[in-house]
Structure 1
């Protein structure tokens, strides 16, 4: 016997029982299960018309009972077909049994709904609600087979056409009137007047048809079956109602009420109820019952809730007046745009017909459009996904506008609170939510303006450095107090310890608070200190890996995740190592976003996100390579070189959507060449790819204004990569690239002479081309490029277009601008500072006609030719029409120097150009000694720790030179050594194993504005504090030398 399944048995037990049954059935074929499926075949379907025709053809009519049985069978069969499905051969319906249902009986309605005459619609949100009274029909036979609407129409016609009949016998009416007088016209139990009147009429009619003996018998039977307490209660209510009728009898007699006709739809019972309420005093207990009965006429509006009807109230267009300077709460539209206080602030047509206001809410300020941050936060936590997506979309647009600087000095966004909301939303696995929340997080951390500008300038010489966006550890109260007394005293104490040289060790005075770990902070405290560390604390790397590897959203979420990883990689070596050491994440990135080109279709107009090369993934690799040499070595072990070869040797990439992939591949290769990977032999693998790309660009680059800038950027990337080869090259390289590089240079500089330099991509192409020529000449000689130097380059420098381009050097200079950037607009999340704030709004720190990069490259090329005794470029570049703009540029430095913008990351090349111009002997003839001293002094106040060699040279050339200061040589040399020791304490020594292409995004100048007087300030401070110190003769001598130099500098008007 086969056992039955018992409660608690698992699926494995059921499968074991199944195997036992199958094995027994194989032994005994006659063995059958306890229950089997039975197929029930239905008769073929026959239409009602066919069945009716068969009935009409029959000679003998079936009896009434048989006909009703046929109709019942037909109805059951139709119900079965509708439930089970049509078609006798349907496989899904063959397994179903017939369904037996009871008789379907339509509920009889005594009174049909009649459409009432509704008056003119008022100008309101909704029309007035009216209850349609139902009228009972007289005969059931007339009502059978008709709908409620048809019954109502027939009733209206009969009410209009029927003429009342005269009744001869009034005995029935008299009996009814007597009963009405005895039992009154109302009910004690039923409060609804309409229902009570209908029940009362029904009872009266029934009593009229009964004899007195029958009535008494029924009464006795009813009294015996009812609880005596209920009978007493009903009798008491009857007495109270009788007294009430006697009290209101005079009022009713003086003000008789006309009973409306039974078939008149224009006189609803509500009118009689209202008239009765008007006649009754407020103290009458019947008023409450009548009011409740009237309230029941309104469906779902028994209780009026005014607070829920406020949204229907009209909002006035007239907004309250705002006092100038008064603060008000910010409101935004769905795109994150800050809306004005009222729409009246915008000059527009105030006609009511053209009122296109949107997003008005019935809140605290109903006259103002838009949503506040609190409302958006609440909407972002809604249960409806569309509302959450809309709220996060508004926050994403808000952050995008904020990162561009349009909200600076207008409102302060709670960045930390927005971050936590976005991070919570990023845990949702819905693709739509992931896309919009990922985009908002990318807008917050990945500054699009900074990254775009960094990419645009990357191909220029000297722009291979990448910013390290670490939070600066500065005290809140002393950011600009670099010349404070305490700081200077510590530095002087260090100087007095040893003057033996640059290798002097300095003991760091670090407070205990700075050594505390950030792990003791709460999440909100950490977000207010370092937002990147707070993001890492939320396990963002694991979350990104889960999204990319498991969720795999085929939308812009992939780009947002890659942007977040790029921003994390820019936060320093420790975070970059966390990314690289996450083997699962790196494997996911290489497999899904860096596949081989032989596996994909490069002709797709809209390429997918997965299994397709993503240029953002290559940019992430470039950021990791730039961080540290050890990271670059680890990426090389992951076969990154093979991927770059696959992308760069594909000859179709330049013409398709993969041009950005090739540009990033060239940038990655440039970083590897600068770090001298594979013992300076890496470039040999890509020589033929370089040759093919230059052959293609010489024919397809459109230099003229309006040409595709991506093609120019690709050509500049090829040239910049070639110029990054630092090892000595052999004849193979020079032979393969020399001729084509010469032809490209002649072609593009000739077009620049004709059309000028009007776009930044044009200037980038020229500077990278000239830098490649400089690289070639350093490794060979100038013989092959004499034609280019003497003809094309000299003509370009002497052309009017170049002079016009050079005249913008003062207006586009970063050091001479009266502006500030946005580097520390939010200290826990610094940015590079690509946007500067002017009085007329935010602006890019680099303009379209920024000439610094091209002029710097020209100057370096001129210095190279001067080393080889060739003065063609020297004579052309130092002609009066090209020299005058540079002289004015230096002269403005004496009065308009901006020390803050001079430390901007994008100002590094301009600082180098200024240093070259100040060290050039020819410019000293254009300035007086005092003027030259002032220019160099202002420039020294802009230099940071990475410019210590420049400080040394300018100290020797100008500051401590007897040509500019009239003091003996011995005194100048001794004081120069003291100042240099002050500078040397900022030296940064990088071990060879820690080579990097990262630089801090912002550094503080090493010399304060009043650095010549810092010893005097220390003496004055000691005097004020009454510090008694015994001074030696050497100390008095040093003080005297200091006073002489200070007086000399004051005479040179360095410090006003």
Structure 2
């Protein structure tokens, strides 16, 4: 069987040719540098694989490799590495060194590290290279829809994109993109702490420490978790998936955010790791399912990362294990291709990368099962999850993430919809004391948030555009809730206050017309008080209603005794009817009768 070592004479000749003829400076041919990268990619694994049987030959051949690396890192330290192929070549050297250091010998590696690598990463040239990590990031850069420029999408992997304020498409990976180089440095210095030498530890701190632009980059990624608004990033792009998201997975794997310099920084470090892990959970496609499971096991459902917040919310390790099981079931349910369930897959094919496996709102997603159960029957429900488990997982775990990590998992309208879904279960488990208290607590949080937003004159809820799980519109869910409320609300105040939200005067009159004309019987069972409303009672009373059809519905409901005296719906209807009477001195019904009488007289 042919071994890589059998090819060493030819490879050695090619390597010697590159040592003599490759021009590392930007003025040199980039195609030659790319060829050298391909050569290194071939040699590195071969050295590692043949290390045991050919230690002597590998060592002598490794010396030539290290000589090339020394020459090119010296050139990079002197003149920089601004061109993309220069960075790729340096990264290829580092990957090769990491694979070959056992075969070549640690002494040769230490020499290379001390004389060439350390001076380079501590130089101003290296600082210039990594300074652009945030501005050139594939995750943080704003990309615009190419269709608005009349350029039809090509059947590619997304290599060509349009950036903000550009009209000409450019390559998604710019010449200043440093992640390839940083990824190689991370692997070279990223073993377990007990395996690192002191020099490696210092080198790692110089590259990735708190004073490095890399820290600012991680913080910028974390900020993406604190705003629930849609960001214009290419989460489903093949290059983003295979380059930058893999890099962030390794950042977490090698513990770059787990080493606070001061005791006081521990809480911030925990939050940073939690936010990074959460960001990746709604960014990865199903091709990364094994990595997603590892994020669940190592970070998301690990109680240590939630600090005192877990104790405040009475969350235990048993709770976390139970929730992890529930969410793994939901994740497996979302997978379209069973091939992706395998922990390890041979080959270079990615089965799916365009669509994230989980939505950003996945901590709330169990509650959507109650909607599916109501609409489609028990065949569409995960039988392993009871109604109690669904409500507990969806509301308690999301609460823990939001409080401990400071993350915005869902928009206010989405949170409102998920809370509404908690009341749609077939067994009315929301009446149980523990779950009722949990729902009331989550309602109070949303009520407080909505009050602050309204105080800043911001529109809190977007009923026209919001969709639950990108499938169920607010209109459809609201109708389901109205139907369920009439049959099984048992006068629950929290359920009633959710139904009252779109009936405030600031929202489209069609919501009020729908309820007061088609679901007026529901209003008799609404028992919530003023303090339970989203906003002040004044928001339901002012400005005075002017829609004649709605005013007639108010009058009919009052005259038919369909409303409980003193209830919020009764007070709202009575206020608007009285306001209309004081304005025009006649009720809409009387006005219609007068119009009919006039018509009859005219016909005679």
TM-score tier (shorter): 0.5 to 0.7
Deviations for 1:128-165, whole angstroms, at most 9, x for unmatched residues? xxxxxxxxxxxxxxxxxxxxxxxxxxxxxxxxxxxxxx
**What is the distance in 1 between the residues matched to 2:342 and 2:389?**
37
TM-score (norm 2): 0.56
Residues 1:991 and 1:1011: Cα distance change in structure 2 (over 3 Å): closer
- What secondary structure is seen at the aligned counterpart in 2 of 1:762? helix
The answer to whether structure 1 residue 1046 and structure 2 residue 387 are counterparts is no
For 2:284, the equivalent position in structure 1 comes to: 943
For the 8 Å contact 2:257–2:273, the answer to whether it is kept is no
Q: Does 1:911 align with 2:245?
A: yes
Deviation at 1:957, TM superposition (A): 3.0
Selected match of 1:895 from 220, 223, 243: 223
Secondary structure of the residue aligned to 1:923 is coil
Contact residue 91 and residue 180 of structure 2 kept, 8 A: yes
Give matches, 1:574-585, under 5 Å. Answer: none
Matched with 1:870 is 197
Asked if the contact 1:814/1:901 (under 8 Å) is kept, the reply is: yes
Residue 1054 of structure 1: how far off its partner (Å): 3.7
Evaluate the alpha carbon distance shift between residue 1055 and residue 736 of structure 1 in structure 2; reply closer, same or farther with a 3 A threshold. Answer: same
Question: Aligned-pair distance for 1:780?
Answer: 4.9
Q: Deviations over 1:159-213 (max 9, x none)?
A: xxxxxxxxxxxxxxxxxxxxxxxxxxxxxxxxxxxxxxxxxxxxxxxxxxxxxxx
Counterpart of 2:24? Answer: 703
How far is the alpha carbon of 1:811 from its aligned partner?
0.6
TM-score, normalization: structure 1? 0.33
Determine which structure has the larger helix proportion and give its number.
Answer: 2
Q: CA deviation at 1:876?
A: 2.1
SS at match of 1:836: strand
**Where does residue 1004 of structure 1 map in the other structure?**
355
| Contact 1:893 1:935 (8 Å CA) reproduced | yes
Counterpart-to-counterpart distance in 2, 1:1028 and 1:761: 55
CA contact (8 A) 1:944 1:1005 kept: yes
Aligned length: 376
Alignment of 1:675-690 (within 5 A): 678=1, 681-690=2-11
User: Which residue matches 2:330?
Assistant: 982
CA gap of 1:1023–1:849, structure 2 versus 1, over 3 A, is: same
| Structure 1 residues 1047 and 769: alpha-carbon distance in aligned structure 2, compared to 1, 3 A threshold | closer
Give the drift of 1:952: 2.1
In the alignment, is the contact (CA less than 8 A) between 1:759 and 1:848 conserved in 2? yes
Cα drift, residue 1048 of structure 1: 2.2
| 1:684-833 equivalent positions in 2, closer than 5 A | 684-725=5-46, 727-729=49-51, 730-731=54-55, 733-820=57-144, 830-833=155-158
For residue 500 of structure 2, what is the aligned residue in structure 1? none
In the alignment, the residues of structure 2 paired with residue 702 and residue 769 of structure 1 have an alpha-carbon distance, to the nearest angstrom, of 15
| Counterpart-to-counterpart distance in 2, 1:918 and 1:788 | 27
Cα distance change of structure 1 residues 773 and 934 upon mapping to structure 2, 3 Å threshold: closer
SS at match of 2:223: coil
Give the 3 Å change call, closer, same or farther, for CA 997–825 of structure 1 in structure 2: farther
- Contact 1:817 / 1:896 at 8 angstroms: preserved in 2? no
Check whether the contact 1:753–1:795 (CA below 8 A) recurs between aligned residues: yes
Which secondary structure state, in structure 2, belongs to the residue aligned with residue 976 of structure 1? helix
Relative to structure 2, which stretch is displaced further, 774-783 or 787-796? 774-783
| Cα distance, 1:766–1:1031 mapped onto 2, change above 3 Å | closer
How big is the shift at 1:1001?
7.4
Q: For the Cα contact (< 8 Å) 1:756–1:802, is it kept in 2? A: yes
1:128-147 counterparts in 2 under 5 A?
none
Query: Partners of 1:811 and 1:709 in 2: how far apart?
Result: 24
Q: How does 1:443-462 map to 2 (within 5 A)?
A: none
Q: In 2 relative to 1, CA 931–854 (structure 1 residues): closer, same or farther, beyond 3 Å? A: closer
Q: Would the alpha carbon gap of residues 826 and 692 (structure 1) be closer, same or farther in structure 2, given more than 3 Å must change?
A: same
CA contact (8 A) 2:326 2:385 kept: no
Query: Is 2:238 the partner of 1:886?
Result: no
Aligned-partner Cα distance in 1 for 2:35–2:383:
67
Structure 1 position 1021, deviation (Å): 5.1
Partner secondary structure for residue 49 of structure 2: coil
In structure 1, the gaps of 5 or more residues are 1-677
Q: Does 1:844 align with 2:171?
A: yes
* Per-residue deviation, residues 197-245 of structure 1 (Å, max 9, x unmatched): xxxxxxxxxxxxxxxxxxxxxxxxxxxxxxxxxxxxxxxxxxxxxxxxx
Alpha-carbon distance between aligned partners in 2 of 1:840 and 1:937, rounded to the nearest angstrom: 31
Aligned match for 1:853, one of 171, 180, 190: 180
Residue pair 1:899, 1:942 contacting (<8 A) in 2 also: no
SS of 1:988's equivalent in the other structure is: helix
Work out the CA distance in 2 between the residues paired with 1:776 and 1:713: 20
- CA distance in 1 between counterparts of 2:100 and 2:81 reads 24
Counterpart of 1:957? 298
Match of 1:222 in 2: none
Deviation, 1:881, is 8.0
Aligned to 2:472: none
Cα contact 1:794–1:873 (8 A) shared by 2: no
C-alpha displacement of 1:989: 6.2
Q: Secondary structure at the match of 2:170?
A: strand
Kindly indicate whether the alpha-carbon contact (under 8 Å) linking 2:90 and 2:181 is maintained by their aligned counterparts in 1.
yes
8 Å contact kept, 1:919–1:954 = no
